[in-house]
A and B are shown apart, each in its own frame.
Chain A
Amino acid sequence: MAAALGRLGLERRSIRVPDVALAAWLAMLAGVTAYGAATTTGFLTVSNMKAILTAAAFVGIIAVGLTVIVLSGNLFSLALGQTAAISAMLFLYTLRLGLAAAIVLTLLLGLAIGAVQGFAVGAWRANPIIITIGAAGLMEGMAVWLSHGQSIVPPASETSWQHLAQPVFGLAAPVYVFLVVTAILAVAMHRTRFGRQIYLLGENRVAARAAALPVTLLTVGAFGIASLYTAGSGILIGATSANASLLLTGSYTYDAIAAALVGGNAVTGGRGSIARTAAGAIFIATISDMLLLRGYSTGGQILVRGIIVVVVVVLTNLRERSR
């Protein structure tokens, strides 16, 4: 029980300065958000809440997958946006084989892309950041080459994919997917041997290897899951925009990493949870939505996101250090 709480960072211990600082920061963010919610016209409406959840869903699915990499102690991946974009492209292209085949093929490709990167990181201890930057370049090149630089549109005969973007009981379908895949991963990380071994690997790589954990396999799994989830999000992004090119890459990479960091997961691995990242994704979507409604420019939105990331990274790090 204590160990389970420890993983969530909830075990009983004396409260120190960094805890207070983090609590103060969170309280300040909550206060500013509440103030913003009260004073921003059009924020506290049902339709806006739905918009926030939809925006959070696309980034959130990617971010919870990425969390497995973070927990395994391999920092993060910088190829997520490209993975999502090429998944959307492949999905729309393979729709001519039928909806089920398109989904399965896209998810398999996502899994394979991640597994290859994970193998280089796990077996050879290649630097995860640089490997994923290189992989992103390769994916961009491949995508332009194979698509001849044109954007992909779904075949006219096939319309079943449109359900993936339509509202169900008032909420967009991706929101349900986000909730379900987050719940599955959260349970898997705590109940399965794989999940517990990922935590151990992130906590102490030397000990994990000494305990004969399959380090390579675990890393392949971590990158594979992150990439699989990103491909899943790519399917939903493609279905929503009904038109896919590399432009879809957008800021998904940074938004997903920001969600994982803002959720308070330790960047050095081993401590954090899927739920924290999901909360981080919803928080970032809320802030972005509010800034947009208040008329902030793109720059203002990026700047605020960056400041929140830096402060949270410093505070969670201090908190981890003081344990």
Chain B
Amino acid sequence: MSALERVRYRPRPGDLAPYAILALMILALALLPALTQYTVRTANVYDILQNFASYGLVALALGITIIAGEFDLSVSSMYLLGGMVAVLTGVGSPFLGILAALGTAVVVGLLQGGLIARFRLNSMPVTLGGYLVVLGITYILGHSKSVIYENFSVGLRLDKPVLQIFSIRSLVSLGIFVVAALVLRYLRVGRDIRAIGGDRRAARVAGVTVDRLLVGVFVVSALGAALPGALLSYSLATASPTNIGFDVLTFSATAALIGGVSLSGGKGGAVGIAAGVLSLSVLQEILSILRSPDYVSSLITGGLLVVVTIVWAPDLSRWFRTTRLARSVEPERAPS
């Protein structure tokens, strides 16, 4: 199979899994009034889309790095730094704050992507170092404390319901998803990203500008974390350097993987990732309607992440197919 054949879009029954999961979640939400005394209102749909606005773009960004065969552990601290920079620089003009946050993200992305592409480094340790550096800068900028954003009206305007269920924040996220879906599906750059994730050596031989594309992927990844981070900080009128651990990362990785992004690279798209984010957002909304404690959500998200990772594991089917003896002598496909 040539690299180009591999990356050409061919729907298979398995590709429908993200939408089936989303349908199940929506069904569960719809059945909720029948099983409990709660009614589901348009406010719940608004909440789901707000959650989508807060984390969707991070899942998209992380999904694109996974499609390209890489991973970005620094998104969770970039999310915090985006909010911190926006709040500190956007007191007079919120647009300026957003621009500053995006500019910071471009610098972080260029540095990480540049190192990874130039020296052909494994992205995990580099972005782990990047995570620490970015987190450290966030702490320093906020003097280890939460910073209040005085311009409260900005957050109110960003979150004001539009057509009852949308807000400017969620419309921005949805709009970017539409653009990303079109780019990944129809433009050459989308095919190239899948190519470098599927078989990097073949892509290089086929003339794909691998290094430049990798740098671009990490810039996109940092931008995808910084923008929702900045918007959320405006919405909450505060930015905090507090290490919220891997919450953002856990959510977005789970969403991307549920959305059909393959951990071995080369496979996935923006529409699937959107379905993954929506599934998890609906799930969060169901849990909050049921007033379940926080730990239920982290148990379910953690469990889902483990399950989808195992489902995507390259040797799972072989493990079930072959005996122990046959497996030990069967030649293994060399990692690309």
B125–A267 CB distance below 8 A: yes
B132–A299 CB distance below 8 A: no
B residues near A210, Cβ cutoff 8 Å: 329, 331-332
8 A Cβ contacts from A185-226 to B: 205-206, 209-210, 212, 214
In the complex, A241 has a CB within 8 A of chain B = no
Min CB–CB distance A7 → chain B (angstroms): 20
Stretch in contact with the other chain, from A56-64, A107-115, A136-144, A169-177: A136-144
A309–B129 CB distance below 8 A: yes
A residues near B306, Cβ cutoff 8 Å: 120, 131, 134-135, 138
| Bound Cα distance from A139 to B123, whole angstroms | 26
A302–B139 CB distance below 8 A: yes
Chain A contact residues: helix, strand, loop or mixed: helix
A78–B126 CB distance below 8 A: no
In the complex, B241 has a CB within 8 A of chain A = yes
| Bound Cα distance from A205 to B121, whole angstroms | 19
B305–A314 CB distance below 8 A: no
| Bound Cα distance from A258 to B73, whole angstroms | 14
A residues near B249, Cβ cutoff 8 Å: 133
B residues near A237, Cβ cutoff 8 Å: none
8 A Cβ contacts from B136-153 to A: 136-144
In the complex, A318 has a CB within 8 A of chain B = yes
| Bound Cα distance from A193 to B111, whole angstroms | 42
8 A Cβ contacts from B221-273 to A: 241, 243, 245-246, 249-250, 253-254, 257, 263
Range for the number of chain A residues in contact with chain B: 35 or more
Stretch in contact with the other chain, from A8-16, A44-52, A121-129: A121-129
Q: Which of A124, A134, A254, A310 contacts B303 (CB 8 A)?
A: A134
In the complex, A35 has a CB within 8 A of chain B = no
B residues near A251, Cβ cutoff 8 Å: 243
8 A Cβ contacts from A213-268 to B: 214, 249, 251, 254, 257-258, 261, 267-268
Min CB–CB distance A77 → chain B (angstroms): 12
Task: Report the nearest A residue to B122, measured CB to CB.
Answer: A267
Min CB–CB distance B250 → chain A (angstroms): 5
| Bound Cα distance from A138 to B310, whole angstroms | 15
Min CB–CB distance B126 → chain A (angstroms): 6
B residues near A212, Cβ cutoff 8 Å: 328-329
- Chain B residues in contact with chain A, CB under 8 A? 71, 73, 115, 119-122, 124-126, 128-144, 241, 243, 245-246, 249-250, 253-254, 257, 263, 293-306, 309-310, 312-316, 319, 328-329, 331-332, 334-335
